Amino acid sequence: MTPLEIFQAIWNENIPPAVVTYVEAVNYGVDTNDLPDFWACALYQPELRRDVTMGSQPWVEETGSFQIGLLTRSGTGAASLDQAIDYVRQVFHGARRDGLLIVEVDGPHDIDPEGQGEWWEVGMIARYTFQTRRDGTDPLHGGWEGFPETPPPPLPRP
């Protein structure tokens, strides 16, 4: 699974649509007229991917962030997103699953201070670390054939 798929699985299992509905809106032609009054989307932003160890099965670590947009219809004000902000912070801060660790959740940040347009927007940033391993014997790519299905051992606890 990719970090975004793991993030979305955590969201779907822990944040009910009654609080805020997750919508796959990044790079999709979404008709905003059909969206619920409270909705969210996330932008997956990997920043660095490096081999942590070498050898026949090197560990790979990726760091980056998920930029989370929380939106509500204009006229309701940013305070109407308070419950959604609390859910996102509680669910993701320190969350770990399948090699993904959400290190921190920062925000909310006022993306649209004037609340102009149809949607009132608030943003949050969830910084992550993702560990997996590479297996393979292909000499052209230094033995890399892709990522195996089995995740690495759990990340150490603080």
Q: What are the phi and psi torsion angles at 72 (to 5°)?
A: -140, 160
Write down the pLDDT at residue 138: 47
> Would you kindly state where each structural domain of the chain is located, as residue ranges?
3-141
pLDDT score of 102: 93
Provide the CATH topology of domain 3-141.
Answer: STM4215-like (3.30.2000)
Spell out, as residue ranges, where the chain has pLDDT lower than 50. Answer: 136, 138, 140-141
Would you state the pLDDT for residue 51? 76
Taking only the tens place, the pLDDT of each residue in 13-24 is 999 998 898 988
pLDDT tens digits along 122-151: 889 999 999 887 654 545 445 555 555 666
Three-class DSSP category at 158: coil
The pLDDT score that the predictor gives to residue 141 is 45
- Strand order from edge to edge, sheet including 96-97: 21-22, 38-51, 59-73, 119-133, 100-110, 96-97
How buried is 99 (Cβ within 10 angstroms: 0-12 exposed, 13-18 middle, 19+ buried)? Answer: buried
- What pLDDT, on a 0 to 100 scale, did the predictor assign at position 90? 92
For the whole prediction, is pTM greater than 0.85? no
